[in-house]
Amino acid sequence: MPYNAVLQPIESVMAANPAPVSARARQVNRAEVVDLNFQDYVRAHPGQSLPRPAASEPVVAGSALDAAAFLELFESQLISRHLDLMARVLRVQNKVFYTIGSSGHEGNAMVARVARHTDPAFLHYRSGAFMAERFRKLPGMDPIMDSALSFAASKDDPASGGRHKVWGCKPLWVLPQTSTIGSHPPKALGTAIAIEQARRLHRPLLVPADSIAICSFGDASANHSTAQGAFNAAQWTAYQGLPAPVLFVCEDNGIGISVKTPGGWIAASFAQRHGLDYFYADGLDLAQGYAQVVAAVAHCRNSRRPTFLHLGTARLMGHAGTDFEVEYRPLGELIAAEAHDPLLRSADIALSTGLLTAEGLLQCYESFRTRCMDAAVAADLRPRLASAAEVMQPLAPFSPQRVAAEATRVDYAEERARVFGGEKSLPENLPPRHLAVQINAALFDLMAKYPDALLFGEDVAQKGGVYTVTKGLHKAFKGNRVFNTLLDEQTILGLAQGYANMGMLPIPEIQYLAYYHNACDQIRGEAASLQFFSNDQFRNPMVVRMAGLGYQRGFGGHFHNDNSIAALRDIPGLVIACPSRGDDAAMMLRTLTALARIDGRVSVFLEPIALYMAKDLYDPGDGGWLTRYPAPDQAIALGEGRVYGDGSEVLFISFANGVPMSLRAARALAQRHAARCRVLDLRWLQPLNSAQIVAHAAACARIVVVDEGRRSAGVGEGIITAIVEAGLGHKPLVRVVGEDSYTPLAAAANFVLPSDASVLAAAEALLRA
C-alpha cells in the first residue's frame, strides 16, 4: 500500500465536496489526528508484499540503507514522535513546559546516523529524532529520560540543568541553541573553520581532526540575515580555497509558523551558489533519502567544503502546542501534510518488507508511548530550580584566586624575550608610553603567553588596525594567528565562538563600538548565554576588543564616536572593562584573558579611541598621561578601580575620557578653592563595584559622576543607584553626562558630551551649594 493512500481518498472527497470529511480529520487537536492516523494506517496495512531483507541488505531494492540501520532509524523516529505526543498531553497538566515538536522532521535522524557524535552539532528545535539517533553512539545513555527531564524543566536535566528546553548534550557534542532562529550558523561555521585552524597550528583538538560542524535550521530561518551572513562567509572562505567543513542542513517543511516559503525557493536560492555545495535528500522517506544524506556528509568531511543539505520535511501538529494551525491553513493542506507523515512511510517499509508485523509495530509504538509518559511523570517529580541563585549559578563563574594567579603567571619568559626581541626591548624596560602602544605591547605579551590565542577582525593584520593598535602582531605571529576577516561583525563574533568551542582563546576586534550593534545578538543571545543554557558544561571564552567612545579630534561624527554602552551593560554575565591609561589597560587585559581561560568568561575590552594617543594630562608637553608598561606579573583584579588622591570634599567617579577630565577639574578645585578631592576611575563597567563606589561616596562630602555615555541607560545611572541604595542619596551629587543624542560631526560634538568646562562647573556648583 502506498504510504500516501491515507491521503488520496480524503483529498478527492474534499475536492468534490468538503462536507463529508471525517470527524477525525476535522479535529482541532492535530496531535491526536496524527497519532490515530498512524495506528489506523498500520492496522489497515495489507502486510508483507516484498522479500524480507537480511540485516545487511538494502531495506528496499536499490536503497543505500540496510535493514538493520533502517530499524534503528525507525525506532529513533518513534521515540521522537512519542516525546512530541507526550509533551502535548502533559503540557495541559503543567508537567511539561515546551511543545515545539519534531513531528514530520524525523528524517533528520539520518544525519545523526551518518555523522559522528564528535561532529559538533548546532541543532534546529525539531531535532528529537536526530538526538535519539545520536544517543546510540555512546553506551548507557537514555534519550527518553534525558529529554523528559528537559521538557519538565527539571534541575536534573542533563542539557541545561532545568534552565531551558534545549537539544544539548556534552558527551555527544551537541551544543545547546537558543530559540533565536538563524543565529547559530555563524558559530557553526566558526567551529568548522576552527577545526581546520587548530590542525594548522598543531593545537591539540578536542574532536578528531576530520570532524565537521553540523548546523540545522528551518526553511524560513534560512532567509535570516544572520544565517545568510554565515552562508556568505562560508562561500567567501571556500572561494579562496580555504577549508570550512560545515554541513548546513535546511529542514524544509515549506512554512515558518504561518508564513509559507515560496514553492521551490530553497532549491532556487541554494542549488547554484558558488562555494556552497548543494545536496537534496527526501527526509520523508528513509529508504530514498539516505543515499543523499550519506553523500552530503561524506562530501563535507572529505572535501572540507561548506555543504548545504536540503532535507525535505513536513510540519505536523502545528508550529507548537499553542498554535491553532486550523486558523490559518486550509484543512485540506493539513490533511495532505499529515498524509506525508514520514512515520507512515517508515511503517510501510517495515510492514511491506516483513521486517515488522502490524501487531509488533503497534506494540512497539505503544511501548514508546508508555516509556515517554512514564519518564515524563517521573521527571515531573524531580526537583526544579528553586532560587535565583540556583538559576544564575552557571551564569558568571568567577574564581578570583585562580584568575589572579593565571593573570600574573610568567612562565613564558623565553617566548616573551623572542617576541619582544631580547631582554633590553622588553616593554617594561622602555620609557613611559601612551595607551595605544601599551595595548599593543600587552597583546604581544598575551599572544606569547597563550599559543592558542588568535587575534582577528577587519584590518587587524598587515595594516595593524585602524589605529595601529595591532601593529606588528601579524608579522610576529603570522597569518594563522593574526588575520583579517571579511567585513561582517556577526561572522567575526561567530568565528570567535567557534574558536572558543574548539578550545582556543579568541581575541576578536570590532572596529568601532557603533558596529558592535550590527552583531549584538552574537554576544547577547549567543556567546554570553552558552554557559547559562548548558549549565556551564560548554563555555566559549573570549575577549572582544572594541574601539569606541567619543572625543576623537581627527575623526568626527557619530559612528566613530559612539558613546553608548547600554547594549552591553545589561547582558547577563558579560564583563566590560574600560581602561583610561596604558598600564591599566595591559593589566586589565591580563585579567580578562585569565577570566576566559579559568572561568570561561566572555568579556568586552572597550578601548577609548581618543585616549589612544593622549600623552599629556594637565598641560601640553607634561607627559602626564604616559605610563610605564607593567611587568607581566602585575594585574588588576576584576572590579578594582583606581583612586587618585585622598581628599574628601569632592569625589569624582568616572571612567575612560572622564578620568583625565576629572583629574583636571580636581586640580582646578584645589587651586581655585583649596578643595581637596579624590577621583575614582572605575575601570570595570560591568559588574560595577558598588562596594568601592559606596565606600568612597561615604568618605566624601560631595559626589560628581562624570559619565561620557548617555544620560539614559548609561553607567552613571548605575553609579547613582548604588549610592542611593546605600543610603547616601542625601549627599550633594550631580551627574555630568552625555546627552541622549547621536554625536554630531566637528565641534558640535562638544555640546552633547561632558567637557572640562562642564565637569568643573558642576563641581564648583556643588561646592557653592
Only segment of 9-17, 251-259, 340-348, 694-702 that touches ligand TPP (CB under 6 A): 251-259
Tell me which residue has cell 553540523: 214
Other CB atoms closer than 10 Å to residue 125's CB: what's the count?
22
CB of 334 to Mg ion, least distance (A): 15
* 63, 226, 253, 657: residue in contact with Mg ion (rule CB under 5 A): 253
CB of 124 to Mg ion, least distance (A): 9
Is the CB of 250 or the CB of 636 nearer to Mg ion? 250
CB of 223 to ligand TPP, least distance (A): 8
Q: Do 309 and 247 form a contact (C-beta atoms < 8 A)?
A: yes
Q: How many separate helices (H) and strands (E) can be counted in the chain?
A: 28, 19
- Return phi, psi of residue 66, to 5°: -90, 165
Count of residues touching Mg ion (by CB under 5 A): 5
Look at strands 505-510 and 650-654 and give their pairing: unpaired
Is the CB of 128 or the CB of 427 nearer to ligand TPP? 128
Give me the amino acid identity at 189: L
Give me the amino acid identity at 332: G
Decide: is 319 part of the binding site for ligand TPP (CB under 6 A).
yes
x/- binding map, residues 607-646, to ligand TPP, per CB under 6 A? ----------------------------------------
Other CB atoms closer than 10 Å to residue 17's CB: what's the count?
9
CB of 724 to Mg ion, least distance (A): 50
Decide: is 179 part of the binding site for ligand TPP (CB under 6 A).
yes
Neighbouring C-alpha atoms within 13 Å toward the C-beta of 512:
17
Look at strands 602-608 and 542-548 and give their pairing: parallel
- Return phi, psi of residue 735, to 5°: -105, 130
Decide: is 547 part of the binding site for ligand TPP (CB under 6 A).
no
Decide: is 219 part of the binding site for ligand TPP (CB under 6 A).
yes
| Grid coordinates given for 480 | 594563522
Decide: is 170 part of the binding site for ligand TPP (CB under 6 A).
no
Give me the amino acid identity at 149: L
CA 183/CA 510 separation, integer angstroms:
18
Count of residues touching ligand TPP (by CB under 6 A): 17
Q: Do 679 and 705 form a contact (C-beta atoms < 8 A)?
A: no
CB of 103 to ligand TPP, least distance (A): 11
Only segment of 252-260, 410-418, 449-457, 621-629 that touches ligand TPP (CB under 6 A): 252-260
x/- binding map, residues 259-298, to ligand TPP, per CB under 6 A? ----------------------------------------
Whole-angstrom Cα Rg for the chain: 30
Q: Do 204 and 186 form a contact (C-beta atoms < 8 A)?
A: no
Give Cα 594 to chain centroid, integer Å: 21
Cα dihedral: 562, 567, 573, 577 (round 10): 10
CA 213/CA 485 separation, integer angstroms:
20
Other CB atoms closer than 10 Å to residue 359's CB: what's the count?
10
Q: Can you give the length of the chain in residues?
A: 769
- Return phi, psi of residue 252, to 5°: -95, 105
Positions 122 through 141 that interact with ligand TPP (CB under 6 A): 126
Only segment of 88-96, 218-226, 475-483, 590-598 that touches ligand TPP (CB under 6 A): 218-226
CB of 348 to ligand TPP, least distance (A): 24
Q: At what angle do helices 143-151 and 67-91 cross, to 10 degrees?
A: 20
Only segment of 217-225, 397-405, 463-471, 706-714 that touches ligand TPP (CB under 6 A): 217-225
Is the CB of 225 or the CB of 425 nearer to Mg ion? 225
Where does residue 136 rank: exposed (0-12), middle (13-18), buried (19+ CB within 10 A)?
Answer: middle
Residue 126 binding target from ligand TPP, Mg ion, none, CB below 5 to 8 Å by type:
ligand TPP
Is the CB of 315 or the CB of 449 nearer to ligand TPP? 315
Q: Do 232 and 306 form a contact (C-beta atoms < 8 A)?
A: no
CB of 310 to Mg ion, least distance (A): 12
Three state DSSP letters for 293-313: HHHHHHHHHHHCCCEEEEEEC
Is the CB of 256 or the CB of 556 nearer to ligand TPP? 256
Where does residue 48 rank: exposed (0-12), middle (13-18), buried (19+ CB within 10 A)?
Answer: middle
Decide: is 181 part of the binding site for ligand TPP (CB under 6 A).
yes
Only segment of 167-175, 250-258, 643-651, 658-666 that touches ligand TPP (CB under 6 A): 250-258
Positions 208 through 237 that interact with Mg ion (CB under 5 A): 218-220
Is the CB of 79 or the CB of 222 nearer to Mg ion? 222
Cα 471 to Cα 278, 451, 460, 477, 531, distances in angstroms: 40, 19, 8, 11, 33
CB of 229 to ligand TPP, least distance (A): 13
CB of 220 to ligand TPP, least distance (A): 3
Which residue(s) pair with 277 in the sheet?
307
Only segment of 114-122, 252-260, 324-332, 730-738 that touches Mg ion (CB under 5 A): 252-260
CB of 123 to Mg ion, least distance (A): 15
Only segment of 250-258, 298-306, 482-490, 616-624 that touches Mg ion (CB under 5 A): 250-258
CA-nearest of 112, 117, 121, 118 to 79 is 112
CB of 169 to ligand TPP, least distance (A): 21
* 221, 269, 440, 591: residue in contact with ligand TPP (rule CB under 6 A): 221
List residues near Mg ion by CB under 5 A. Answer: 218-220, 253, 256
List residues near ligand TPP by CB under 6 A. Answer: 126, 179-182, 217-221, 251, 253, 255-257, 315, 319
